[in-house]
Every structure is written in C-alpha cells, then in structure tokens.
Chain A
C-alpha cells in the first residue's frame, strides 16, 4: 500500500506540504509579479474652490482637470511607467487660501505625486507655498498674480501667462484698436474686484494706460460678492468715461453688465482685462444683447487648432461650457503628466526637472512649445476677444484672429 501510494502519487502529508510550499512561493513571489504588471497609480491632487463665492469657476477647473486625466488614461496612461494611470485626488478650498493650504498638507502627508491648483491667485499663492515644503510639483492652473512665480519656489510652475504679461498685451492692443479707429478713447474707468487678481490687474492698467494717451479718471474697487451694482453704474454714468474696464469674477461681471444696461450707461467701449464673463460662452448665451461688442483680453484657445476644437467639442458633449477655466486646468494637468512621463517616475526632483525643461506643444493654445523660465511658461500669451453676433471671436493677435475688431461700439 505504501509503495502504491508512492507510485500513484503524493501521500496526503506530502500533498499538504507541497501545496503549502507552493502557496508560500506564490504568496511571496508569484502574486507580486502579477501586481507588478499593474503599475501603481500616479496620484494628482486637484484643489479647487468648488464651493464658496467662486464655485462656478472652481468647478469648471475641476471638470477640465478631470477631462485631462480621463483622456490621458484612455490614451494609455503614463507610458514610460508601464501605462500607470493618473488618479485624481480631489479637494475643495472653498475659495479660502488657508483651506487650500491645509488640503495640500493633507495630500503631501498621503504621498501625492503632483498638485494642480487653485484657480484664484490668493489660493494658488498659498497652495504652492505649502507644496514647496514637501517639494511636491505644483502647477498653477489659472492664478494670474505675478507674485506666484516671482517667489522663486522650485516646485511651482505656471503654464498660462501672468497678469504682468496680460496687462501689457491688453494695453498694447487697446492702443492699436484705438488708433485704428482714430483714437476716440481718451478716458477710462476701471472697475475691479477686491482680491489679489482684481487689485493687481487694476494697478498695472492704471500705470500703463496713460502711456497710450488714455487717462484713468476713476478706479472703483468692489467686494465679493456685491449684491447691487447700481451705485457703480451711476458713478460710471456721472464720469462718462470713453472706456469701462472691468476686472472681476463671473457673478459680479454679470450683475455689472446687467446694471450698466439698466442704467443706460453707453461708453464707446467695454474692454475687460481677464473679465470673468466677456470671454464666457455662458454670458454670451444668456445675455446676447448685453454681451454684444464687449472686448476682453484673456486666456483663450487657438481657434485654428484642431486639438483645441476637438477638446471644445468633447467638453460641450459632456454638457460643459467651454470657459477658460476648463481648458487651462486641462492643460495644467496634461503639462504635469507630460513631465512625469518624461521623468519616467514620480520622483519629485525628476518631475520638477522635467517640468523645468518642458517643450510640450499639445495644448491647443496660441503659445508654441512651452519655454519655462523660473517656473513660468514664457511662451504663454493671452488673446483679445470680442463678442460679435452671439459668438466669441478672436480679434488679436492677427495670426489667430477670426474677426476684425468693432470699435467704437455702435450706439
């Protein structure tokens, strides 16, 4: 019987021993081999103000960033890391810099690989500062304050231009538009929201506009939120400037435009700089008459780029309004993902180095390949847009223009 057992197979004891040994070998070496075929996800922190007074913009940013992650994953993930998938880690800054910074600290503790944040300048200042403590790569999606980059934090990058560049571009092009029309604009009033973005933009414009022969006769600062803009509209009417230059967030911009119309304020032009609504399809769709002829100098996609038009169509198919928040946050994530891919790992120093020498060009923006200097993409530039017949047209620079400017506004 014993021989038979030996010749016909394993004894019960031998079988158990063999099975145990096999299980142990598999447990120690076999399954990890299988797991190694599924590389660990790359965790990207997305910190946006999805509640609070700028929730609309924050939500748009989040949607854009998530679209980018979805597209990158669908295209095979981070190829140099065996197709590792991007994983979004979401947080809400509630529109408050301190909460944004606290979310960065939590994410750093949890081992995040990179952060895209935080829509407003004030929040971006706080999140990038906090991310610097853990050397976490941080890409600013929208925040335009030049201070964000000027601090020289090695972990902080911005793909889109800051307001120094935007204000200069806005003033130069306003000069061209004004001169082409016979210089009808000689005075301007600036209406801006009170945070870093509005105050900083207004300060730069106030300094630059006299250089092109436009006197700034009044600068009005308002709170967020402002429930009623009648007083401001009345003051604009009293001063009767040739140009009204708003720099504020969407809700306030809408109320301002609505009230100016109610109070029959008719300047020669409304020329926004980073205006929260004049470059928004939402505003144009909801107020086609009030929006007509408003010009803006803002972030915008290249209307002649197939990449941009495909992404716009994809966003609209999801029911999104294709605002600048959507495509800037999309590009911020894609810019970071490209760097991780080139770094071939999530090693923070390697990713930061890859961001610094990026020449990425799949952005659909009127930029050219990225050229990072001190964290800022120096190739980034805004464009001038104008609302014409219910659509937003690019009017400057000429190489990207889809229409000619109409100025002064017809009465």
Chain B
C-alpha cells in the first residue's frame, strides 16, 4: 500500500467523519442560521447528550442506537426549557445578551459536569465499535457508515419539517419578521423554544451516532463547536442541505489536509476554506434563505 493508494480510503474517511460533523452542525444551523441565536452552549449540550448516551448504556444497558428513542426527546425537552425559561428570559431579545447568556451557560454546564462526572474519559465499548464495511478496498468503520446515513436522514427530516409543516412555516415567519408573526397570532416565545428544542434534539441524535466511535469528557464539546459554526457558515446559514454538504467538505478537507500537510497542520485547510467562503461567497454555498 503506497501513500497514493490511501488517497481513496482517506477521502471516504473524510466523508464519513464529515457526516458526524454535519450531525452536530444541523441543530446549530436551525438555531444560529434561522433564528440567529449564537448558541455558544452547543458544544456543552452535545457533551450533555453524550453523557446521557453513556449513562443509558452503562446504567440501563441501553445501546447507543437504542438510545435514539429516548435521547432526541430528552434533549428536545432540555433545549425547550432552556430557551423558554433561561436564554429567552435573560436575553431580553438582545443578540449580545444571548451571546453572553449561552457562553455563561456553557461554562456552568461544563463545570457542573466536571463536578459530577470528574474529567474521566468515558467510552461505550459496543461489539460493533470495531466492525468495518469494506468499500472499494477501504475499511469504513460501521459506526461512521451508520452516522453518515443518520446525517442524511436527519437533514431530510429537518428540511421536511421546515418546508412541509405549520411549525416550519411558523419558525420561518418568526425568523423573518418577529413582530409581524406576533401580530398574526403566532406565539413567538413558544416557536423560539420549539426551534431551539429541535436544534438541541439534533444533538441527541448526533450523540447516539457519535458515541460508538468517540468518547465523552466534560470538555468534549470544544472539539466540535468551532467546526459546527464553520460548517453552518460554509453551507449557508439556515440551509440543512448546506450544513450536510458543508460537513462533508470539512471532513474531506481535514482528512486530505492531514494526509498531505501532516496531521498537525491538516486543520489549517478548514479555516482557509472558511476565510475564502467569507471573502467570495459570504452567504455560504447554498445561501441563507429558507
């Protein structure tokens, strides 16, 4: 096997890793891209979801994929309550307040996790964690292949929700014209909380699909949150398909960057792309209109 021959496996790995990034970014594109809430607590809430999956597995023998029945609903409830009773109330509808409130929330959540769970690295070791799917001579880890299809389904479901349901229409109306939406009888606070809840529910899905190939610590969100913001901007704020494509691009750039520039420098490519997009297409690949 030469270095050139690992180009295809590396590319495929980038795509599957990118799907995991896209999963984390999908919720953010709804919260940040549509509602313009800069949610700095996104990484911390991912950590909460990962601990949820971990404790379900260790405490109740619920596997990460079985946890898909519980975790999105639980995370939706957390997201809804946070927006309705903490972020919404404390921010007084001012963007700079939202930023500080979510930043504060992330610090509180992380420190509580440190206090309760200590900083131990926790892993769910499932029998299929080491299973691989052979594709074009490359061994693709089964959990990543499942995550790839999970990301496709989640993006499709969110797209359907936003374009085919009354809630989706209400979310778009509130995002576009908050006062107008209120005037026509839409409960704006409820819609905001629902949107935030749905965005955080996506983290519940992401956590279930991520846990078989990753670990959880109180700081685990740091590694994902910046990537997720980059993906949202790259894909186009508010575009779920854009987030999916953005995630895959970032995954591939990181993977090939690591291969050709070295693993330490590989991530430079991610931020180079980010800057180029901001320079030449500030609306992102698929624009921001929903």
Contacts and interface: CB of A to CB of B under 8 A. Distances in A.
Interface of A: 50-53, 55-56, 58-59, 194, 220-223, 225-228, 230-232, 234-235, 237-238, 240, 250-251, 254-255, 258-259, 261-264, 282, 286-287, 290, 321
B167 to A, nearest CB: 33
Nearest to B7: A234
Contacts of A56: 119-121, 217
Contacts of B224: 227
The 7 A-B residue pairs with the shortest CB-CB distance, nearest first, are A55-B119, A222-B263, A238-B1, A230-B13, A234-B6, A231-B258, A59-B119
A74 B47 CA distance: 39
Given A251-B217, A255-B215, A282-B121, A234 B263 contact: no
Contacts of B180: none
B145 to A, nearest CB: 11
A51 B6 contact: no
A259 B141 CA distance: 9
A51 B2 contact: no
B83 to A, nearest CB: 26
B114 interface: yes
B219 interface: yes
Interface residues of B, number: 41
Contacts of B130: 258, 261-262, 290
A228 B17 contact: yes
A225 B215 CA distance: 12
A251 B218 CA distance: 13
A232 B254 CA distance: 12
A234 B9 contact: yes
B126 to A, nearest CB: 12
A60 to B, nearest CB: 9
B129 A258 contact: yes
Contacts of A255: 214-215
Contacts of B215: 251, 254-255
10 contacts: A53-B219, A53-B222, A55-B119, A55-B217, A56-B119, A194-B264, A228-B254, A258-B130, A259-B141, A263-B132
Given A230-B255, A251-B217, A282-B120, 5 more contacts: A225-B223, A235-B259, A238-B3, A264-B139, A290-B130
Q: Interface of chain A, helix or strand or loop or mixed?
A: helix
A58 B119 contact: yes
A259 to B, nearest CB: 8
Contacts of B114: 50-51, 55
The listed residue with most B CB atoms (<10 A of its CB), out of A59, A234, A238, is A234
Given A55-B217, A55-B218, A232 B13 contact: no
Nearest to B5: A238
Contacts of B119: 50-51, 55-56, 58-59
Interface in B184-212: none
Contacts of A228: 13, 17, 254-255
B259 to A, nearest CB: 5
Contacts of A262: 129-130, 132, 139, 141
Contacts of B258: 231-232
A351 B12 CA distance: 59
A58 B2 CA distance: 40
A264 B3 contact: no
Nearest to A54: B119
B91 interface: no
Contacts of A230: 9-10, 13, 17, 141, 255
Contacts of B222: 53, 225
Given A230-B13, A235-B3, A282-B120, A264 B263 contact: no
A263 B139 contact: yes
A217 B259 CA distance: 16
A94 B139 CA distance: 37
B264 A223 contact: yes
Nearest to A52: B219
Contacts of B217: 55-56, 251
Contact of A231 (B10, B111, B120, B223): B10
Nearest to A263: B139
A361 to B, nearest CB: 32
A255 B125 CA distance: 12
Contacts of B283: none
Contacts of B3: 235, 238
A194 B130 CA distance: 27
